Amino acid sequence: MSHKRIPKRKAAIAAGGVMALGAAAILLPDAGASQDGASDDAAAAPRTLSATDAPDLASQLAGLLGEAFAGSYYDSENRRLVVNVVADDGNDVVARAQKAGAAVREVDNSMTELAAGARTLRARAAVPGTSWAVDPRTNRILVTADSTVTGDKWDRLQSTVRSLGSGMATIKKSAGTFKTFASGGDAVFASGARCSLGFNVTAGDGTPAFLTAGHCGVAAGQWSDAQGGQPIATVDQAVFPGEGDFALVRYDDPATEAPSEVDLGDRAVAISRAAEATVGQEVFRMGSTTGLADGQVLGLDATVNYPEGTVTGLIQTDVCAEPGDSGGSMFTEDGLAIGLTSGGSGDCASGGETFFQPVTTALEAVGATLGAVGGTGGAGGETGTGEEAGGQDAGGEEAGAGAGHGAEDASGPTPAH
């Protein structure tokens, strides 16, 4: 489904023109039920939380518990936040976490130790085709190697993991190959490349813009909403590889209306604000190639070693993606903007891993706010839209609106699913 840009009117270059058959076709209206707060008399019992409320409690407990905090994740079946703590005999961190409403689990590995393990991996085993992220559900570092990691590279990775000590990390093999996919959201094109728009934003000077993948932003400076069409937007900032995979692309016409929503093809999901991801959280991705797909957050602060270089600070998920989805939106059913599609392995037939750039980090880095200029979004203008996406990718197919993967670029890497 094609979404045309109409300056000075509602420009619904919204996220997701193509519906993925059989993959998260419906966003349940009551899935993000509001929090059922526990009574004061039952302060030690885990609170019933929505996935939307869990990140806020996790952030509060991270500050409250300090070095004893060892990560957290959302238990969607029981609708509660599980917090890992490293407890000494003389402290009361377990009681404090329980009083705050979390389900508490005592673990061996602290966040400091896990972070040190990740630094060791970066120093000794940062070969293309590898990734790692902290998995709070196992209290270990989850190390993944794609199909290209063989021979000496595989031996080096295994040796490095063993050097971390027993119980610190696990390795798994991925059948696919880590790569970027330059498509997403509503399709955007540039010199034979195609990407997806992630979320519409307001730039620091008050003009309309959108976020997409950084590997799309470094592939071309100007983007069109039609293959071979006139440019409608120009890259302002782009980061890839390095500390993220994100780009800010400004609309050339300052009167462009950029609504805060993700277009699902037959309807739109209003985006209210940006939010941090939580392990265990259910998320949705919209892409130009595969449409709507869903899955769970598996790890945070992930490091991915793409052929083009290392990218840090990503979100690891089991959401599928394919070429043409890069830059596209990852969001929740109740309208929280979570991520921008970066890359991964696999496809929507066999599955795989997909990594996303956190929206909160991208907004802070480029000095933008989520949503349209003077729009009606969440507080503080943090409204997100999944309209036009910019990015790189080869191929002439239209990318799905909002969030998703990018199509492969004939002259370079395939943007992440």
Gap between the Cα atoms of 189 and 231, Å rounded: 9
Gap between the Cα atoms of 149 and 391, Å rounded: 28
Residue 73 region by backbone torsions, left for phi larger than 0, else alpha for psi between -120 and 50, else beta: beta
Pairing of strands 199-202, 309-317: unpaired
**Closest residue by Cα to residue 215 from 16, 408, 358:** 408
Catalytic residue among 326, 329, 342, 345: 326
Q: Are 244 and 365 in contact (CB under 8 A)?
A: yes
Pairing of strands 130-135, 291-306: antiparallel
Catalytic residue among 3, 215, 405, 417: 215
326: annotated active-site residue: yes
236: annotated active-site residue: no
What would the 3-class secondary structure string for 47-69 be? CECCCCCHHHHHHHHHHHHHHHE
Let me know if 50 is exposed, middle or buried by CB neighbors in 10 A (0-12, 13-18, 19+).
middle
59: annotated active-site residue: no
Catalytic residue among 135, 146, 245, 263: 245
| Catalytic residue numbers, as ranges | 215, 245, 326
